[in-house]
Amino acid sequence: MTKTMPLWEVFIRPRNGLSHKHVGSLHASDKTMAINAARDVYTRRGEGTSIWVIPSTLITASDPSKDEENFEPSENKIYRHPTFYDIPDDIGHM
Amino acid sequence: MSKILTKALLELADDHLILGHRLSEWCGHAPLLEEDLALPNMGLDLIGTARSLYTYACQVEDKNKSEDDFAFLRNEREYVNCLLVERPNFNFAHTILKQLYFSVFMELYWAAALNSDDEMLVGIAGKAKKEMAYHVRHSGEWTVRLGDGTSVSNKKMLQAVNALHLYTNELFINTENSETYISKNILPDRTSLKANWQKKIKTIFKQAFITYPNNNDELLGGRVGLHGEELGHLLASMQSVHRLHPGAQW
């Protein structure tokens, strides 16, 4: 089945101005069928105004065994968060 | 308005309800999870249109009646759907082809109905036409994939065409009840849609390596209540809850 019906990742944009977000995956024979299936599976309740599909095999993912070197170094660098500024009250919510 | 319009509306409504129910039968049985959602989705489109039409039929005929009376309390002989829509699902190829035949027809029908002098019908047509456009896309793409797929899928599509094509002519026949409203520019003329229907089906068949049948075989009877025994089974299942619990509301 993975040969004739490969896996596709589905991205939906909920509204204009927002970005496409990953919502899940599905099996389809080609890109046309993948868009149709994505429409049927992931937009039944008015979730989207635009659909992207991409073959799962085209996605390159980070290696979970390298989590330590990839992500831990950023955990103790709290100064990278913009939380050390006093914001004047009349600026309001930023 | 009159009972004659109700009868003409029932032909349309019954087509949608019966085919909608047939699609719902795939729920939990489709060959793919994706289609398990797609087919009942489309079934719901059709049942939604049927509801609008039954409700309109109640308004023009008898305000004490409800859509449920039409759907759940008529027997086979009182149903006036065309024979095509009641054909059993049999397999995925049959289901897809039946859907293609019907949705290509209805997309043309609703497009014509947008020019009707009846406001209610124009409203129903506007919504239904968009749904039909997707049904055509879905079933058309599948027809091409199956016809141009493996030798097995191609064979199953050809068998479906052999089994179902003779039911398509009924779509293009205007009944006496509808003739009255065609001349008043309320309902579209079915015969006028045939050329465009054939053109569209032939284009899809060509891509799918399916030969368009050349014979003029036809089977009629649905519009006068003469159905295959399969409709009885469908109604028995569809109406059982309402008949066991009369007046039950969802």
* Residue numbers of the domain that contains B124: 3-244
Residues of chain A above pLDDT 70, percent: 97
Q: How many structural domains comprise chain B?
A: 1
Query: In this structure, what is the dihedral angle of CA atoms B234, B237, B241, B247, given to the nearest 10 degrees?
Result: 20
Report if residue B250 sits inside a domain. Answer: no
Query: Nearest 5°: CA angle at B139, between B134 and B145?
Result: 130
Taking residue B168's Cβ as centre, other Cβ atoms within 10 Å add up to 23
Residues sharing a CB contact under 8 Å with residue B130, sequence separation 6 or more, in sequence order: none
**Which residues on chain B are in Cβ contact (under 8 Å) with A44?**
37, 41
pLDDT in tens, B178-237: 999 999 999 999 999 999 999 999 999 999 999 999 988 999 999 999 999 999 999 999
Q: Do A40 and B38 touch (CB under 8 A)?
A: yes
Would an 8 Å CB–CB cutoff place A57 in contact with chain B? no
Which pLDDT score, from 0 to 100, does residue B43 have? 98
d(CA B98, CA B171): 12
Residue A77 binned pLDDT confidence (cut-offs 50, 70, 90): confident
**Residue B11 pLDDT exceeds 90:** yes
* Residues of A with Cβ-Cβ distance to B32 under 8 angstroms: 5, 27
Chain A interface includes B145 (CB < 8 A): yes
Domains and CATH numbers, chain A: 1-59 (3.10.20.520)
Mean pLDDT of A32-40: 97
Supply the pTM of this predicted model.
0.92
Q: Which of residues 1-40 of B touch A (CB under 8 A)?
A: 32-35, 37-38
Cβ separation A40–B41 shorter than 8 A: yes
Of B37, B138, B145, the CB nearest to A41: B37
- CATH classification at residue B48: 1.20.1260.10
How far is A19 from chain B, CA to nearest CA, in Å? Answer: 25
Q: Phi, psi (5° rounding) for residue A9?
A: -95, 140
B148 belongs to a structural domain: yes
* Residue B218 counted as domain residue: yes
Please state the separation of Cα B34 from the chain's center in Å. Answer: 22
For the residues B17-27, what does the mean pLDDT come to? 98
The alpha helices in B63-208, defined as continuous H runs, are 67-72, 83-86, 92-113, 119-147, 151-164, 176-183, 194-207
- Residue A88's pLDDT is what? 85
Question: Strand, helix or coil at A77?
Answer: coil
For residue B64, the model assigns a pLDDT of 84
pLDDT at A2: 67
Structure tokens at A49: 């105004």
Q: In angstroms, rounded to a whole number, what is the distance separating the alpha carbons of residues B67 and B49?
A: 12
Over range A40-50, report the average pLDDT: 93
Q: Positive or negative CA dihedral for B206, B211, B217, B218?
A: negative
What's residue B250's pLDDT? 73
ipTM above 0.90, yes or no: no
Taking the C-alpha atoms of residue B120 and residue B49, their distance in angstroms, rounded to an integer, is 12
Up-side HSE of residue B154: CA atoms within 13 Å toward CB? 11
Q: Do B34 and A39 touch (CB under 8 A)?
A: no
B1 pLDDT tier (thresholds 50, 70, 90)? low
- Concatenating the DSSP letter of every residue in B202-223 gives HHHHHHTT-PPP-S------GG
B249 found inside a domain: no
